Structure 1
């Protein structure tokens, strides 16, 4: 797929022409190598399903454009190149199986169609290294997206601190009221509010953010040319006009159950914290919560009536630990910025990931021993002890007779 100055059979001139309407902010002096990598990232997004780790390892180890060589070279050659790039045991990647699942999409007409549809829809292409690329996506590692296709303003994704408000589609009046109040309150405190564009809690979060003249983005499970659900076409069009509708999938891609689940990892990585407003036992919002926890992001949960099945998933998250009970926008702000004085104008606090994970594992009321903190944070007991010592010096953690508590520092 790479020969001389070609990538996937496209010359540098063709690549420049295809990218120009999708990346108007890129200077004309952009080097061909940089342009090829951006084009290759877009091609990869057309070839693979979200979260494909084999493709991710290839892209990260060899570079997006050079990684396309893997589709033309033997497994042995590619594995040697990966070994030279520092990838341990590349044979485990299953390159032969990966080629087989990518091959049906490696069609020139299909690739040109994706770029053509994006141009017609006014879509922007954002790749790693661009100013609009959200840094939090790097936490997904090899499971991260190759590119983002954005309908609207890509700058929304990096305009400031953001929170994901998620929940069930069959939301109750209570859930929608809380979602609206949280979104409105977060906007007034300088946060962007992102969600998945679905019925119920997601839709209310977007509506309230727009009504408050705030910043909001919707992360799609299909191409941004197919606004889903259809009943939210007008709402998502307004989100695109005043914020952004985003997907890692190219135009022309239909949403599917797998893609919805994978979309949730993008939403969790994109934001500083995730708040589950209302969720039943089987709600997809619990999947987003799981991704947030795995990434070490703060996780907030709104409690509901104990008699309401729509809040059963929320109560389970609170019962299992690792989630923080939130009832107001100030609670959410404190969740994201634990040491922030709510009366001040300080910017977002950026704690190292390990400190944030340990802090998330602490309760302000119930002491926890180091073993429980290690299990909750996913760190070793030895590492937890070291991080707790640092947090204690800053007043963020306090050791008592029964274990460790979250401090007021």
Structure 2
């Protein structure tokens, strides 16, 4: 490990996630230089600058206690590693966060984060979700995984957990971004799930081994999810929801924001509906998500109702069929007048319709058959769906 990487590992003990003062210092002094300033026995007052003396004293105290080699050993014991800007595995899209980008990331799992992040989608939402929301998140994640996309979420209860389970169940790829150390099982009820994710995918976080979450760290964790992925899908979120923070941060970073609609009466979908009224695209399945975040040509299938036999008729034949009255026969002249077509043309079209089972001959007249081709009962002149 290079001195720069070792210094960055130490700084994850010193700087809180998203600390823009620390990010500016890193840009100005480099990691080795910054650690040198913070651990110097006779540091120049106010250097590095931009914060008060009391806060700077706190940074210095943390820097004096940091032991990056020990942290790296602890990470290795749980199958972990450390990556940072300049590493081969660093996902450069995180650089879009500017001075708020992570100092580095602690990972558990075998896959390359850089490779996985290139084709990843965030699926986030409410912790206290409904059965509908859990079903949609799990189905959506399974579909994305089957299409070769990595599902990224925060391993929380509710929508996050459902999304991870959907991807795992389909044998696909999923990554959990934590607001604590990558070796810490939080929430505790998801210890088994996090173990499965680490075994099949990736668990990652900005904080060093053994670190525990705080409310502010959850909020700041969301910026990593937003920046790391190609787009963010929100499945159920109330008006005040961390998931909306993730989606809006994704939009600010130029990523695609999407929402899955819910019942208009559901408070848990109110935040999603607010997004859909403004900056987010409506999606209902994985194919629609991929159409938005994927490459040119990755299109969702066309949506339409079932094709019935009359949809296959050409325009002139369908006009003759529509001119036949319901419940009684009509002669050729009456059909020609109603359809605005010549009698010879009508006769030819009627025989074509007869061969297809749409009409039958009644003496000198023609009438609709009681059973339409395909099995339905014809109670009036058929409507031509899809035309």
The alignment's TM-score, normalised by the length of structure 1, stands at 0.69
2:229 corresponds to: 271
Q: Which of 94, 111, 121 matches 2:78?
A: 121
Between the aligned partners of 2:54 and 2:249, the Cα distance in structure 1 is 26
Aligned match of 2:44: 74
Aligned ranges for residues 10-409 of structure 1 at < 5 Å?
Answer: 19=1, 35-71=2-38, 72=40, 73-74=43-44, 93-94=50-51, 96=53, 98-108=55-65, 111=68, 113-159=70-116, 160-319=118-277, 321-337=278-294, 339-342=296-299
Structure with greater Cα Rg = 2
Q: 1:110 offset after TM fit, Å? A: 5.3
Q: Extract unaligned runs of 5+ from structure 2.
A: 302-387
Q: CA deviation at 1:125?
A: 0.7
Rounded to whole Å, the distance in 1 between the matches of 2:75 and 2:146 is: 34
Contact 2:7 2:68 in 1 (8 A): no
The alpha carbon displacement at 1:155 in A equals: 0.4
Structure 2 distance, partners of 1:188, 1:140, is 30
Q: CA RMSD in A?
A: 2.0
For structure 1, which runs of at least 5 residues remain unmatched after alignment?
Answer: 1-18, 20-34, 79-90, 345-409
Q: What CA deviation, in whole Å up to 9, does each residue of 1:178-208 have, x standing for no partner?
A: 1111111111221110100011110011111
Query: Which is further off, 134-143 or 334-343?
Result: 334-343
User: Following superposition, which runs of at least 4 residues in structure 1 exceed 3 angstroms of deviation?
Assistant: 75-78, 95-98, 107-113
- Tell me the SS of whatever aligns to 1:63: helix
CA contact (8 A) 1:218 1:246 kept: yes
Determine if contact 1:137/1:144 at 8 Å carries over to the other structure: yes
Paired residue for 2:314? none
Cα distance in 1 between the residues matched to 2:200 and 2:293: 25
Partner in structure 1 of residue 305 of structure 2: none
For residues 243-277 of structure 1, the C-alpha deviation after alignment (integer angstroms, 9 at most, x for no partner) is 11000100111111000000000111111100001
SS at match of 2:112: helix
